[in-house]
Structure 1
């Protein structure tokens, strides 16, 4: 099966637009992140190639929405939340219920988002590590 990259990217752009709207409502954004995490945990075996990246995307999104970490550009958090919204959609370019292939487009988008925001994620990891160190000493 050949993936239609442009169709996937167009669908992702719609997810980013939804993310911009959802980010204005912290409760709704938090619920979206929780729902996406639940789906990810349920389908972990299908997501092995991007699991560690997804956990980092979930962490930064959660810390951003909670107001704990705001040192990330708006476009990056919109891309991250857009990727999670894309992942949440059961009917995207390759519907999730299609055996074996159902998550292939989701993995493509999540990898794309990760690469797009990798510098921001590196800064986030440094911040997160410092938070953990500070909490051990307090």
Structure 2
């Protein structure tokens, strides 16, 4: 089965448009992230190759929607949420219920998004690590 890369990218653009709208409603955005996380956990075995990247995308999107971390360009957070929306859709270019191949397009998009926002994720990781150190000092444990 040959994947139609352009069809996948077109579907992803639609997901990004939806993400742009959903970001205007923090509750919808939070629920979208929560739903995508639930789907990811349920299908963790099939997502093993992108699991650590996916965890990072969930973390930054949750911290953004909660207002804890807003130092990310709007285009990057739209791409991340668009990737999660694409992942969440059961009927995308390759429907998720198709054995073995069901998540191949999702993995392609998640890898694409990850590469696209890598510099933003590195800044986020630095920020997140500093927050953990600060919290360590607050509770009396060593930083």
| TM-score range normalised by the length of the shorter chain | over 0.9
**TM-score normalised per structure 1:** 1.00
RMSD: 0.2
Name structure 1 gaps, 5 residues minimum: none
Q: Following the alignment from structure 1 to structure 2, what is the Cα–Cα distance between the partners of residues 90 and 110?
A: 15
Partner of 1:37 in structure 2?
37
In structure 1, the residue matched to 2:66 is 66
Q: Which runs of 4+ in 1 moved over 4 A?
A: none
2:9 pairs with 1:12:
no
- Map of 1:19-98 to 2, 5 A cutoff? 19-98=19-98
Where do 5+ consecutive residues of structure 2 fail to align? 139-143
Q: Could you tell me how far apart the structure 2 residues matched to 1:132 and 1:36 are?
A: 25
Larger Rg: 2
Structure 2 CA distance, aligned partners of 1:126 and 1:3? 36
Deviations along 1:15-47, one digit per CA (max 9) or x if unpaired, are 000000000000000000000000000000000
**Structure 2 length-normalised TM:** 0.96
CA distance in 1, matches of 2:15, 2:57: 15
